């Protein structure tokens, strides 16, 4: 117990003592003293805290200031403990790594449980749900690897509603999607924003509020439209790059994805974010290689090409062999932004490995200076494995290379918008 002035001094000048306070959710650290209105009790984490050097020094220096040690009973229940503490009490002691981390997409939480945790998945899901309501309504667990051409994975609901339809807010835009039918990773939001701002030529937000930044983007839209920036988003998904480029920055985007469900939600998000107001977004549902050939056939100039399918995107670079620039600008060569996963030993080894893979697919070498090569580390995937974004100007040498044949891909009829009306086959996945 201590008088109020001493407590104020304690909170302002003795950080180590503050760290000794009991730390439980929804539990106070300071309590009133019934018989003395101007004094308070400071709740420490236990008797061990009394041995903390800072606590001992404080007690010694205030021994004559009506500071004393007493006990205080604090009732605790389920609501007072964090997900980690509850699961540590409920799960077997053999499980060393408590699965309390998860990815959020709208009202849905996605966990990736280790095999040892699977027998307890329902308990884990319910605890996560209980501690995050009403924000979360559904918890799912990945039950297999990504094995299909649409980059989706099987999952099961382990707690809450079986509702996979979510809405996500990102980069000043709204995205609707079915989490089980399309690929979405909320951990890539900073990469989405980085590349969008890089292509649109917008300075970083510099800590500005979302509303102020969005207003600034809207004000810049007219000038950006006049700059005639055109982007080909080859594996666009539901539009995390294409939608903000068009709706916020006035960039014309040709957006394509093979997955019919991704295409469906791309159209939904186009309307949701009013991209169609200025006819800035043109959408396609076809194979990535066929999409590039279609733009080439239609003499479409694009300044940037985004290839965001990190598991296999580099393989698609072979479609640029024998590339023909638009007849209206025969010297034009676009900038390519390709995402990939790379295993490495050193950072230098990582960059060289990534560049060699790009060169192999392109069929020619890349010069770091001449071709404006930039390598950006997007995120750590696992120890010694990173996701990268490699940006470079398409080298002139590709124009002299023999074109690859797309005869192994089913030919498709297209409607007036250039979208396929059949579901094409896709090159094999390694």
Q: Which residue has the higher pLDDT, 430 or 20?
A: 20
pLDDT higher than threshold 50 for residue 30: yes
pLDDT higher than threshold 60 for residue 400: yes
Instruction: Give residue-wise pLDDT tens across range 39-62.
Output: 777 777 666 777 777 777 777 777
Tokens of 219: 């004000």
Looking at residue 44, the DSSP 8-state letter turns out to be B
pLDDT higher than threshold 90 for residue 354: yes
Query: Mind giving me the DSSP string for 346-398?
Result: SHHHHHHHHHHHHHHHHTS---TTTTT-EEEEEEEEETTEEEEEEEEEPPGGG
Instruction: Give residue-wise pLDDT tens across range 57-89.
Output: 777 777 666 677 777 777 778 888 889 999 999
Q: How confident is the model at residue 412 (pLDDT cuts 50, 70, 90)?
A: very low
* Cβ partners under 8 Å of residue 239, min gap 6: 175, 233, 255, 265, 266, 269, 270
Rounded CA separation 324/401 (Å):
11
Q: How confident is the model at residue 371 (pLDDT cuts 50, 70, 90)?
A: very high
pLDDT higher than threshold 70 for residue 226: no
Q: How confident is the model at residue 410 (pLDDT cuts 50, 70, 90)?
A: very low
pLDDT at residue number 301: 93
pLDDT at residue number 65: 63
Q: Which pTM value belongs to this model?
A: 0.78
Q: Which residue has the higher pLDDT, 28 or 320?
A: 320
Instruction: Give residue-wise pLDDT tens across range 130-158.
Output: 999 999 999 999 887 666 677 777 899 99
pLDDT at residue number 428: 33
Q: What would you report as the CA-atom Rg of the chain, rounded to the nearest whole angstrom?
A: 28
pLDDT at residue number 51: 78
Tokens of 271: 């309307």
pLDDT at residue number 32: 77
pLDDT at residue number 427: 37
pLDDT higher than threshold 60 for residue 234: yes
pLDDT at residue number 219: 56
pLDDT higher than threshold 80 for residue 13: no
Can you point out the beta strands (E) in 149-262? Answer: 155-160, 165-170, 173-178, 230-233, 252-256
CA 319 to chain centre: 28
pLDDT at residue number 254: 97
pLDDT higher than threshold 90 for residue 421: no
Of 137-141, 195-199, 267-271, 274-278, the least confident: 274-278
pLDDT higher than threshold 90 for residue 231: yes
Rounded CA separation 171/244 (Å):
7
pLDDT higher than threshold 70 for residue 411: no
User: How many residues in total does the chain contain?
Assistant: 430
Query: Mind giving me the DSSP string for 259-288?
Result: -HHHHHHHHHHHHHTTGGGGT-EEEE-S-H
Q: pLDDT over 70 for what percent of the chain?
A: 78
pLDDT higher than threshold 90 for residue 10: no
pLDDT at residue number 146: 65
Task: State the average pLDDT over residues 95-114.
Answer: 92
Q: Which residue has the higher pLDDT, 219 or 138?
A: 138
pLDDT at residue number 278: 75
pLDDT at residue number 348: 81
Q: Which residue has the higher pLDDT, 308 or 77?
A: 308
pLDDT higher than threshold 80 for residue 26: no
Mean pLDDT of the chain: 82
Can you point out the beta strands (E) in 92-172? Answer: 103-105, 108-111, 138-142, 155-160, 165-170
pLDDT at residue number 423: 37
pLDDT higher than threshold 70 for residue 271: yes
């Amino acid at each position: 117990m201590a008088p109020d002035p001493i407590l104020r001094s304690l909170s302002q000048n003795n950080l180590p003592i503050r760290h000794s306070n009991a730390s439980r959710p929804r539990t106070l650290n300071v309590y009133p003293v019934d018989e003395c209105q101007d004094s308070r009790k400071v709740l420490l984490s236990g008797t061990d805290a009394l041995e903390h050097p800072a606590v001992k020094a404080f007690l010694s220096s205030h021994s004559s200031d009506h500071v004393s040690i007493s006990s205080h009973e604090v009732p605790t229940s389920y609501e007072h403990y964090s997900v980690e503490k509850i699961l540590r009490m409920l799960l077997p002691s053999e499980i060393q790594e408590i699965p309390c981390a998860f990815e959020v997409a709208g009202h849905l939480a996605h966990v990736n449980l280790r095999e040892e945790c699977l027998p307890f998945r329902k308990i884990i899901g319910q605890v996560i749900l209980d501690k995050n309501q009403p924000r979360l309504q559904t918890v799912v667990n990945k039950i297999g690897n990504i094995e299909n051409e649409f980059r989706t994975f099987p999952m099961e609901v382990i707690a809450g509603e079986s509702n996979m339809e979510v809405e996500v807010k990102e980069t000043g835009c709204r995205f609707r999607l079915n989490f089980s039918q399309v690929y979405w990773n909320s951990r890539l939001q900073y990469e989405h924003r980085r590349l969008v701002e890089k292509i649109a030529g917008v300075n970083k937000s510099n800590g500005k509020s979302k509303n102020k930044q969005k207003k600034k983007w809207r004000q810049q839209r007219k000038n950006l439209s006049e700059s005639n920036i055109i982007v080909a988003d080859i594996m666009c998904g539901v539009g995390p790059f294409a939608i903000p480029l068009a709706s916020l920055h006035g960039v014309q985007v040709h957006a394509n994805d093979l997955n019919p469900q991704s295409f469906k939600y791309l159209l939904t998000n186009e309307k949701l974010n009013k991209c169609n107001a200025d006819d800035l977004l043109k959408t396609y549902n076809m194979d990535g290689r066929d999409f590039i050939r279609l733009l080439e056939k239609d003499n479409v100039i694009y300044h940037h090409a985004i290839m965001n399918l990190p598991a296999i995107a580099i393989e698609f670079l072979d479609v640029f062999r024998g590339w023909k620039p638009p007849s209206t600008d025969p010297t034009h060569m676009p900038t390519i932004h390709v995402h990939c996963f790379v295993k490495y030993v050193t950072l230098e080894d990582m960059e060289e490995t990534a560049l060699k893979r790009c060169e192999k697919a392109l069929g020619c070498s890349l010069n770091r200076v001449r071709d404006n090569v930039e390598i950006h580390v997007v995120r750590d995937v696992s120890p010694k494995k990173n996701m990268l974004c490699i940006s470079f100007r398409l080298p002139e040498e590709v124009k002299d290379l023999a074109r690859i044949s797309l005869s192994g891909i089913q030919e498709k009829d297209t409607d007036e918008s250039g979208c396929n009306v059949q579901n094409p086959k896709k090159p094999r996945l390694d």
